Structure 1
Amino acid sequence: MTDSPPPKKLIERKARPIVETALADTRVVLIAGPRQAGKTTLARQVSGSDRPFITLDDVGTLNAARTDPIGFIRGIKRAVIDEVQRAPELILAIKESVDRDDEPGRFLLTGSANLATVPVIADSLAGRMAVVPLLPFAQSEIQSTPGRLLDRLFAGEEPSAGEDTVIGDDLLLTVLRGGYPEALRRSTPGRRTAWLEDYVKLILDRDVRDIANIDQLDRLPRLLDVLAEHAGQLVNHSSFGATLGLSSITAQKYVAILERLFLIRTLVPWSNNRLNRLVKTPKLHFLDSGLLATLREDEADALRDNKTRFGALLESFVVSELLKLASWSDRRLSFSHYRTRDQDEVDVIIEDRRGRVVGIEVKASATVKSDDFRGLRQLQDAVGDRFVRGLVLHDHDRVTPFGEKLQAAPLSLLWTM
């Protein structure tokens, strides 16, 4: 039995015009995101015939790049270099090359590790490189909708449900599918699970070695399972490490590696001098809900009757969708979470450069009560005029007001606006 048809046409990526614009005015452009998110496909679409394609997944090419990076880059006018994190030695050679010839669009790189977090690499290409994030498909890409929710909220627009809301079983299945293109091509849950299990094994067996020296590589699969069970909760490195016989410092190092590989994302705690008793601990999420469901062995039948367990999965799904919306917004947005020691919280706080704030709370239920807005009301009081909107996104098909600038709204607002 199938629960969704595989995509039959090439899905247009929202990042494409951003990459094309960057190539027109910046010497080096890096498309950064997890493996199998579509980086290579996008790079081929925008590269053109004058920019040869070089992949470091080829063993011979990789050896040549690592052995003589300067010689490898010398003489290349333009190129696409795929999976550049496999030979970070190339970065200094690319810097030298683009300093001699500063024509825009010389190198289009793809990377399955967040190179911007490596100080040597970030400093080497500062002012020379534009980084364009590319996560697995957003629902607005799959549905061919504008995907402008954040821009419209910060512009002052009222949320509107539209006609194509997704609720109930359809919402559950959407969350379980996630956004990896290869997983979406598989028409049954079993086939998707098999692909995602192989995908995780590839990342942990090979890609980790490219970016870090790890003494206890065999602990990573188990650590990822532990993190999956803590998705949507506060980060506790001591607890993570104790489960596996690792020190807190080692667990923290390993979690950072998984974040660099775009498997997980931690949201920093929001802070404000007007509020006391704020928890100052990051919150853990996975960047793909389908992958998270596979790690947790979550299936549709069980989740229908377990809203608490579905809630953790749903929250990571929402965080991932919001990050994707932000990745192609012209606004520079930062993400955090809010929680007090009294357990009042806001799952996601989105702040623009002017300090204006949108708060998002996520509920798996169809019913929302006034008490579900406690954290959002505290946030509204704390920031005053800088509060733009507070939304409780939940399993429903209409927008319901709960006060000035406070509404309950369908989860599918993430892609219908």
Structure 2
Amino acid sequence: MSGQLHPRYLKKKVQIALSDTPVVCLLGARQCGKTTLAQQLDGYRTYLNFDDNALLTAARQDPTGFVQGLPEKVILDEIQRIPELMPAIKASVDRQRTPGRFLLTGSANLLLLPRVQESLAGRVEILNLHPLTEQEKQHNSDSFLARLLSEPLSARIIGEQTAISGVAEAVCSGGYPEPNTRTEVRARQWHQQYLKAIIQRDVKDVAAIRDEDEMLRIAQILAYRTATLLNVSSLSNELDISRETADKYLSVLERLFLVQRLPAWHRNQAKRLIKSPKIHWVDSGLATTLNGFKTADWLDYKVNFGALLESFVVQQLIAQAGWLEDEIRFSHYRDKGQFEVDLVIEQGRKVWGVEVKKAASIQGKDGAGLAQLAAQSGDDFQGGVLFYCGNNCLPLAQKNCFAVPIDWLWRSPDHSAQRISLA
């Protein structure tokens, strides 16, 4: 692959935030492209990185003096390394609320760091940058999620039913920019070194961890269990550690944007909190490497690519939602009858369902979970999608539900309705 610069469709929202907010914070996993995006925004902003120990030491010794000595507009990279700076930034902003003064980037979720929450409240807009989506890698500004939320799907038959290409490559490559410039073998090596470096270097910024090897093992297990219901007790038993320790490790991986919990959907908002979430590995390329899978294994029925494919789709849609203005909520559906929907999308009271299937064909039973979700949602149900690896968009038994080629997530089909552009 070439080392070309890919568009980041979050850029427009960052620019808008800088136009009216004194502090804008861009959060995301290390190496997902935050610094590159921050430096693209304008050429008049001084860049400082707290991975530089000299800067880090100076800021820790005199946070107030450090902030007072900063240029008018500045990028402060890896801000999670020095939460002590937040009160000084708060005081500076309270004296001068000029929009766009501070552009912060962080590789840990600052909202989960107690020392930071109070200082940030009401003075900052936080935006999350995900690893590259396939849509960004294809330089396609036509968002599937934006279309789904604005116009009904319809059947589209383009020819004889066949399997589409490129899905295995998309899942295995993932979204970190650096490994996407490498061969598959070299990309796997990058993934392995990346995870070790994160655990050895970044974990200490967010928590005191006694055993790095235990941390690595729980990451490995969660990669095996991506797209499954989270069972912390099972994790603790498997690692022979306390449930409290397992939960702590899991929280650290969440803070570093490596894994994500997907809450359960329920019509009763309160009951969502007591139902089991699903756990998803955020980058499918990294998860594929941890599972020991390769692109060549895609057609091997003994290799369980289905869970990785589900996590891949979930993350693509969550990233696309970040580019939109309206708040979009995500969850999963599972009932006592074992009917499931991999992803529930909500906009206000409107509800959509998304299922994911590795096969290139559909069967009569496909979409049964979508039908259950439709029954639970009533008039709020807007439609459903069964992403699969076939080439035709086909109607399912449930009204407004369709089997959709999975590459519609990144390749725009021909639509008679006007497309929604994010360029």
1:396 aligns with 2:396: no
AA of the residue aligned to 1:294:
T
Aligned equivalent of 1:302, options 297, 307, 316: 297
Give the superposition deviation at 1:85: 0.4
Give the superposition deviation at 1:161: 6.3
Give matches, 1:17-416, under 5 Å: 17-49=12-44, 51-76=45-70, 77-158=72-153, 167-186=163-182, 188-273=183-268, 280-306=275-301, 309-352=304-347, 354-402=348-396, 403-416=398-411
Contact 1:73–1:94, Cα closer than 8 Å, also in 2: yes
Distance 1:359 1:227, change over 3 A: same
Aligned to 2:420: none
Query: For the residues of structure 2 that align with 1:286 and 1:120, how far apart are their CA atoms?
Result: 27
Q: Which runs of 5 or more residues in structure 2 are unaligned?
A: 413-423
Once the two structures are superposed, residues 280-304 of structure 1 have per-residue CA deviations (whole angstroms, 9 ceiling, x without a partner) of: 1010111111000011111223331
Give the superposition deviation at 1:416: 2.7
Distance 1:281 1:238, change over 3 A: same
Query: For the residues of structure 1 that align with 2:157 and 2:89, how far apart are their CA atoms?
Result: 48
Aligned-residue RMSD, C-alpha: 2.2
Query: For the residues of structure 2 that align with 1:38 and 1:134, how far apart are their CA atoms?
Result: 8
Percent identity among equivalent residues?
42
Query: For the residues of structure 1 that align with 2:379 and 2:208, how far apart are their CA atoms?
Result: 48
Distance 1:159 1:46, change over 3 A: farther
Distance 1:136 1:161, change over 3 A: farther
Contact 2:155–2:395, Cα closer than 8 Å, also in 1: no
**TM-score of the pair, normalised by structure 1:** 0.93
Query: For the residues of structure 2 that align with 1:328 and 1:171, how far apart are their CA atoms?
Result: 23
The residue matched to 2:383 in structure 1 has which SS?
A: strand
Contact 1:269–1:280, Cα closer than 8 Å, also in 2: yes
Give the superposition deviation at 1:86: 0.7
Contact 2:157–2:393, Cα closer than 8 Å, also in 1: no
Greater shift, 337-346 or 357-366, is seen at 337-346
- Spell out structure 1 runs of 4+ moving beyond 4 A: 159-163, 165-169, 276-279
Q: Which runs of 5 or more residues in structure 1 are unaligned?
A: none
The residue matched to 2:263 in structure 1 has which SS?
A: strand
Matched pairs, number? 407
Distance 1:160 1:289, change over 3 A: farther
Contact 1:279–1:340, Cα closer than 8 Å, also in 2: no
Contact 1:159–1:409, Cα closer than 8 Å, also in 2: no
